[in-house]
Chains A and B, each alone.
Chain A
Amino acid sequence: MAWELKSDRPIYAQLIEQIELRICSGVYPLGSKIPPVRELAQEAAVNPNTMQRALAKLEEDGLLYTNRTAGRFVTEDVKLVKQVRNKLAREHAQIFIKKMTELGFEHDEILSIINSIMKEMKE
């Protein structure tokens, strides 16, 4: 999974989202050890202090925890990861709906578009 960072929003906030995404999608499985700060910073081509700040916030939120000697790990709390997953889903849906509304679609039109596209993608 490549790190995608947009240029108009704080890097720190984007790193948090991307790590959340990696945890929810299983790139970093529950209970697994994540790479050290330096390595992550280099991989994402960002400043190590910014990466550190993002990881600290994720620790505060409980998604990551540090074992003093062994490194940093992903939580094993399935419920918490589900919550984050729902939060990410809501955010993506909100952005999508906002864009569709800007295009002038009504709510039931949006729903029917989603339904027909999902049918197409299944086929």
Chain B
Amino acid sequence: MNNILECKNLTKAFGNKVALNDVTLSIPRGRIIGLLGPNASGKSTFIKLCNDLLTPTRGEILIDGKRPGVETKKIVSYLPERNYLNEWMRVSDIVGFFRDFYDDFNVEKAYDMLNRLDINPRDKLKTMSKGTKEKVQLILVMSREAQLYMLDEPIGGVDPAARDYILDTILGNYNENATIILSTHIISDIEKILDEVIFIKEGRIVLNKTVDEIREETGKSVDSLFREVFRC
């Protein structure tokens, strides 16, 4: 199985509102892929479908050849768009939780990253700023030795300096056979680390190319092309 993720004619409707419309995609191993689209374009719906939080209305998703479920959760590390950790817990407790939950969780890596970002493992989540909480979540997710990372808006709420560190963390911590899919609308900061970008608009894929193909063909950055495609 060369592709880590395949989906065919994937469609998700909520009542008569179609959030994802006939999406067919193949995503190979060893790539960093940006899922780019404005608000309400279907990014999170796609990621949730891949993580078995939603079920498709039509079509199919295969991750490492399997439908999303318990088996795929073992190899997919997912960063949801919102904080789901218990506020009263200390970071060290949560690290323990993750270690118990996931066979592929690397405790040493987690503490190393916490240390580098000056986060005290004894601190409780509720004492932390929004940005620090986001960093903790990302550290937890990146400390797994997963085959597929799905990061929903990983850099939304953090300042530019921390953003640089997070991108550095992403580059430094994933193994080269793993694939990272990250959704965002802050493109200029991240386009350099991406292999490919997928533009998603009103539930459909409108473009799927490498960053350098886009720059070569249009003479524009992904960021400026995005602004053109999605002009309001």
Contacts and interface: CB of A to CB of B under 8 A. Distances in A.
A11 B171 contact: no
Interface stretch (A46-54, A60-68, A80-88): A46-54
Interface in B9-45: 30-32
6 contacts: A8-B219, A42-B168, A45-B167, A45-B171, A45-B193, A47-B195
A42 to B, nearest CB: 5
Interface stretch (B51-59, B71-79, B109-117, B208-216): B208-216
Given A11-B215, A38-B172, A47-B194, 18 more contacts: A7-B221, A7-B223, A8-B215, A11-B192, A38-B171, A42-B171, A42-B172, A45-B167, A45-B171, A45-B193, A47-B171, A47-B193, A47-B211, A48-B171, A49-B31, A49-B195, A50-B195, A50-B212
A119 interface: no
B123 interface: no
B166 to A, nearest CB: 11
Interface of A: 5, 7-13, 38, 41-42, 44-50
B188 interface: yes
Contacts of A50: 195, 211-212
A41 B215 CA distance: 19
B212 A10 contact: yes
Interface of B: 30-32, 164, 167-168, 171-172, 176, 188, 191-195, 211-212, 215-216, 219-221, 223-224
Contacts of B188: 7
A11 B211 contact: yes
Q: Most chain-B CB neighbours within 10 Å: which of A46, A47, A48? A: A47
A45 B192 contact: yes
A41 B31 CA distance: 14
Majority secondary structure, A binding face: helix
Given A10-B212, A10-B216, A48 B176 contact: yes
A1 B149 CA distance: 32
B168 A45 contact: yes
Contacts of A42: 168, 171-172
A38 B174 CA distance: 10
A106 B161 CA distance: 46
A45 B164 contact: yes
Contacts of A5: 192
Contacts of B215: 8-11
A7 B193 CA distance: 12
A49 B194 CA distance: 9
B221 A8 contact: yes
Nearest to B221: A7
Nearest to B194: A47
Contacts of A38: 171-172, 176
A50 B192 CA distance: 9
Nearest to A7: B221
Contacts of A12: 212
Given A10-B212, A10-B215, A11-B211, A47 B32 contact: yes
A54 to B, nearest CB: 10
